[in-house]
């Protein structure tokens, strides 16, 4: 049901335009210079245009996409620009061929569903939870979920390893709603 709702929401140009603006607003708010995002699957918001705008806006900035080295291990992020050659990787998802590892300060995470507490539902592979749990260095990245309002649920069932996101952006709002 959430996948269908997301597909329908993704087909609305106004929703996508609003999400693109909110992503750029989040980047401005956090003031980071290194961002990890995701290659879009069916129904997921395509953040590549927003990332291209952000990359071109000045200062040295770096975007990266996840690489799945093998199932069951944390993701690795490799440098991406709009001109980076891509290859098809695990799960038939495009991956950059740059080979240059990046440690993002902010990580955009796709959401199949989410709740107002900042918990997300993904595809069940646990890649992002595993990646965040094993993050190199002392400081985890800011985590920002990208979702459509139609995919918000009352409360998701949580497991012990689930980590809430710092922020979830939709075309209509921000969750959890905080004063910061």
Instruction: Scan for tokens 């603006």, then name that residue.
Output: 21
Domains of the chain (ranges, CATH numbers): 2-175 (3.40.50.10420)
Find out whether 157 and 135 touch, Cβ atoms under 8 Å.
no
pTM for this one? 0.91
- Residue ranges of E strands in the chain: 34-36, 62-67, 76-80, 86-88, 94-96, 106-110, 113-115, 120-121, 142-146, 152-153, 167-169, 174-175
- Strand, coil or helix: what is 91? helix
Q: What is the full per-residue pLDDT of the chain (180 aa) written as tens digits?
A: 887 888 888 888 899 999 999 999 999 999 999 999 999 988 899 999 999 999 999 789 999 999 998 888 899 999 999 999 999 998 889 999 999 999 999 999 999 899 988 889 887 778 888 899 899 877 899 999 999 999 998 878 877 777 889 999 999 988 876 544
As a whole number of angstroms, the distance between CA 108 and CA 86 comes to: 19
């Amino acid at each position: 049901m959430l996948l269908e709702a997301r597909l329908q929401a993704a087909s609305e140009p106004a929703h996508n335009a609003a999400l693109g603006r909110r992503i750029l607003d989040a980047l401005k708010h956090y003031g980071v210079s290194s961002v990890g995002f995701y290659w879009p699957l069916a129904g997921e918001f395509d953040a590549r245009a927003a990332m291209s705008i952000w990359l071109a806006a000045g200062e040295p900035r770096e975007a990266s996409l996840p690489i799945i080295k093998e199932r069951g291990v944390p993701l690795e992020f490799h440098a991406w620009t709009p001109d980076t050659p891509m290859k098809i990787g695990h799960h038939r998802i495009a991956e950059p061929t740059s080979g240059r590892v990046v440690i993002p300060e902010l990580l955009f995470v796709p959401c199949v569903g989410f709740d107002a507490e900042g918990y997300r539902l993904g595809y069940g592979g646990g890649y992002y939870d595993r990646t965040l749990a094993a993050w190199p260095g002392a400081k985890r990245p800011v985590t920002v979920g990208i979702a459509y309002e139609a995919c918000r649920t009352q409360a998701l069932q949580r497991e012990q390893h689930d980590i809430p996101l710092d922020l979830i952006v939709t075309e209509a709002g921000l969750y959890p709603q905080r004063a910061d």
